Amino acid sequence: MQQDTKRGLTLIAPPLGYAVALLAVPLIAIVIFSFWTQDYLTIDRTLSLRNYREALTDPIYGAIMLRSLGISGSVTLITVMLAFPVAYFVSFRVPPAHKSLWLFLITIPFWTSYLLRIFLWKVILGYNGVVNSVLTGIGLIDEPLSWILYNANAVVITLSHAFAPFAILPIFVALEKIDRSLLEASRDLGENAMTTFLRVTLPLAAPGVVAALLIVFIPTVGDYVTPAQVGGAGGTMIANVIQAQFRDLNNAPLGAALSVLAMLIVTVLALGTIWIARRLSGGRD
Amino acid sequence: MLRAYTLAFLVFLYAPIALLPIFAFNSGTVIAFPLDGFTTRWFSAVFSNRELHAALGNSLFVAVLSAVLSVLLGLAAARANIRYRFRGKTAAMGLIMIPLVLPEIIVATSLLVVIVRFLNLPLSLWSLIAAHVLICVPFAVAILNASFQALDPALEEAAIDLGETRASTFRRVTLPLVMPGIVASLLISFTISLDEFIIAFFLTGSDVTLPVYIWSLLRFPKQLPIIMALGTLLVLASVLILTIAEWMRRRGLARAGKNDSGGFL
């Protein structure tokens, strides 16, 4: 047994050391760096709260942070609601032999050309785009719609598309784990299809739904490409501001402070979601 | 109804990608409807663009090395996770898997700060490889966890009882059984690295990767049809790679006599 422990520790050491050196240490470094200040071309290394004061008092940062959270929140709700029926279909209606083929088809678009997928939404939503051509073609609208591109709506649509598979997979895994005899038992005891779904299936799928909420919300808050491509001025998110501070505005310490704040807010919200989910499930999870 | 909904959802998922070949073969220079005529001009442009080839070369270099290193680290982590019990395993695995849910901009900025501000090193393709290994390892671990889980420990014990050493058991029994998982995770890590933009945007110096190069072209309307042609080729290549990865993953599960329970994650 002692030998096994030693072997396990030896094996875990390289990947763990790597994660410590390239994740934990850089995260500590960026926190330290966020307390330094940009002094024109040089960095003043005395610790100061100036960046945080600026980030928290300048209303523009607060507004963009709130907008990022709002956009990610909408994306998360839309994605998870759209994804649930798909996951349910693959888990409950597709014959077992075909399940992995369906999952494969669902995940393929997610792995290919992230940048180009985002760009193509511009083509779909644009003034002369697919949506407007079709709608004017069938006579549903006279003027092309302009509220679907270069604003927060466009960011929500595009991100919901990009993160769809992320939401489907955890819900699918949770649904697969449900013991099908529980559903039969519920029907035998007089529940109908609807109440069985609401009182048995849905509560048992809850861990997957919570995982899906988190796995969509966390990365979307920090998305850079989508708001930069389809967001316009009204769809700018926190990652765009961070990138601008690091590159064009040349105030990397302020960018670091914004990164740290974004990370803190996301962590608190994620832990809050997990806590609420545990409370709702009666602390059994 | 549920089936119709799911099919409609698949159409929604594939809609943007389906536009790629349409515009790649369209002779008009504006990426909008109505279409003009048929041309293969944009594909010839892809094949004759030097800068693009340099970017592709950089991307392939980064992706191959990132994939190999990620899978080596992933093998160690997954093996330790499934086979051994030790204190602190949950915390260690948690830290290793965190990049899966960390916004990439955080990984990008924090590594940039360390490399440029603390270590005073120049940015190069190596800094990008280091970052890509970090974000690919969790995917490799997720796939390899399943491979090691499917492995019957009795097979390894039998090999040792029959006189093999631990090293030769690993080489002759364990490795062949998890090989499909290794290939699948190599291909997935390769695909992730090849397609990754935001970290590459922050961490590449003068040598850019393909996504960073594409990003720089997106601002020039004249270049857009060429990007559509390039995108078409990239999608074909990644579908091919992913199909092989999925096939290997399933073969691995079949070899271990396990039921297939889902996709990559």
Give pLDDT, residue B149.
Answer: 87
Q: Would residue A3 count as lying in a domain?
A: no
Q: Are A212 and A124 a contacting pair, CB within 8 Å?
A: no
- Which CA distances in Å does A247 have to A33, A42, A253, A280? 16, 15, 11, 44
Q: Is the pLDDT of residue A284 over 80?
A: no
Which B-chain residues 15-74 have CB contacts (< 8 A) with chain A?
15-17, 19-20, 23, 30-34, 72-74
Over range A168-190, report the average pLDDT.
Answer: 89
What SS3 state is found at A169? Answer: helix
Q: Would residue A266 count as lying in a domain?
A: yes
The CA distance from B245 to B227, in Å, is 26
Tokens encoding B207: 């040598």
Query: Considering only alpha carbons, which residue of chain A is nearest residue B202?
Result: A243
Q: Would residue A247 count as lying in a domain?
A: yes
Among B2, B5, B6, B89, which would you mutate to test the A interface (most chain A Cβ atoms within 10 Å of its Cβ)?
B6
Contact criterion met (CB < 8 Å) for B73 and A121: no
Distance in Å, alpha carbon of A158 to nearest chain B alpha carbon? 10
CB contact burial A6-21 (16+ within 10 A = b; e otherwise): ebbbebbeebbebbee
Q: What is the mean pLDDT of chain A?
A: 89
B215 touches A: beta carbon within 8 Å: yes
Q: Which residues of B touch A90 (CB under 8 A)?
A: 6
Give pLDDT, residue A67.
Answer: 94
Over range B68-86, report the average pLDDT.
Answer: 94
The CA distance from A69 to B40, in Å, is 44
Q: Is the pLDDT of residue B253 over 80?
A: no
B91 touches A: beta carbon within 8 Å: no
Domain of residue A81 covers 60-280
Distance in Å, alpha carbon of B58 to nearest chain A alpha carbon? 17
Does ipTM come in above 0.95?
A: no
The tally of domains found in chain A comes to 1
Query: Considering only alpha carbons, which residue of chain B is nearest residue A97?
Result: B260
Give pLDDT, residue A282.
Answer: 62
Query: Considering only alpha carbons, which residue of chain B is nearest residue A110?
Result: B13
Q: Is the pLDDT of residue B259 over 60?
A: no
Contact criterion met (CB < 8 Å) for B13 and A172: no
Phi, psi angles (nearest 5°) of residue B257: 70, 25
Q: What is the CATH number of the domain that holds A275?
A: 1.10.3720.10
Q: Would residue A124 count as lying in a domain?
A: yes
Q: Are B7 and A102 a contacting pair, CB within 8 Å?
A: no
Distance in Å, alpha carbon of A194 to nearest chain B alpha carbon? 14
Contact criterion met (CB < 8 Å) for B227 and A26: no
Q: Would residue A267 count as lying in a domain?
A: yes
> CB-CB: which of B33, B109, B130 is closest to A130?
B33
Tens-digit pLDDT profile for residues B132-181: 999 999 999 998 998 898 888 888 888 888 988 888 888 888 888 888 88
Q: Is the pLDDT of residue A23 over 90?
A: yes
Give pLDDT, residue B241.
Answer: 85
Q: Would residue A193 count as lying in a domain?
A: yes
Tens-digit pLDDT profile for residues A82-118: 999 999 999 999 998 888 888 888 888 887 788 988 9
Give pLDDT, residue B165.
Answer: 86
Contact criterion met (CB < 8 Å) for A106 and B13: yes
Give pLDDT, residue B257.
Answer: 63
Q: Would residue A195 count as lying in a domain?
A: yes
Tens-digit pLDDT profile for residues A234-258: 889 999 999 999 887 789 999 999 9
Give pLDDT, residue A14.
Answer: 95
Residue B38 pairs in a beta bridge with B26
Contact criterion met (CB < 8 Å) for A90 and B6: yes
> CB-CB: which of B12, B73, B102 is closest to A18?
B73
Over range B185-193, report the average pLDDT.
Answer: 91
Tens-digit pLDDT profile for residues B15-68: 888 888 888 898 877 777 777 788 888 898 888 888 999 999 999 999 999 999
Q: Is the pLDDT of residue A261 over 70?
A: yes
Give pLDDT, residue B58.
Answer: 96
Instruction: Give which of B48, B29, B141, B38 is closest to B96, Cα–Cα.
Output: B141
- Which CA distances in Å does A71 have to A62, A67, B43? 14, 6, 37
Contact criterion met (CB < 8 Å) for B262 and A219: no
Q: Which uninterrupted H or E stretch holds A38?
A: strand A37-39
What SS3 state is found at B54? Answer: helix
Give pLDDT, residue B146.
Answer: 87
What SS3 state is found at A278? Answer: helix
- Which CA distances in Å does A283 have to A198, A203, A279, B247? 20, 13, 5, 40
Query: Considering only alpha carbons, which residue of chain B is nearest residue A87?
Result: B6
Give pLDDT, residue B256.
Answer: 64
Give A171's contacts (C-beta < 8 A, 6+ positions apart).
Answer: A80, A83, A84, A87, A88, A205, A208, A209, A211, A212
Q: CATH number for the B59-255 domain, one of 3.30.930.10, 3.40.190.80, 3.30.70.260, 1.10.3720.10?
A: 1.10.3720.10
Q: Which residues of B touch A125 (CB under 8 A)?
A: none
Q: Which residues of A touch B174 (CB under 8 A)?
A: none
Q: Would residue A16 count as lying in a domain?
A: no
Confidence of residue A285 (pLDDT cuts 50, 70, 90): very low
Half-sphere exposure of B137 (CA within 13 A, CB side): 29
Contact criterion met (CB < 8 Å) for B95 and A20: yes
Give pLDDT, residue B189.
Answer: 93
Distance in Å, alpha carbon of B66 to nearest chain A alpha carbon? 13
pTM of the predicted protein model: 0.88
Tens-digit pLDDT profile for residues B224-235: 888 889 999 988
Contacts across the A-B interface (CB distance below 8 Å): 253
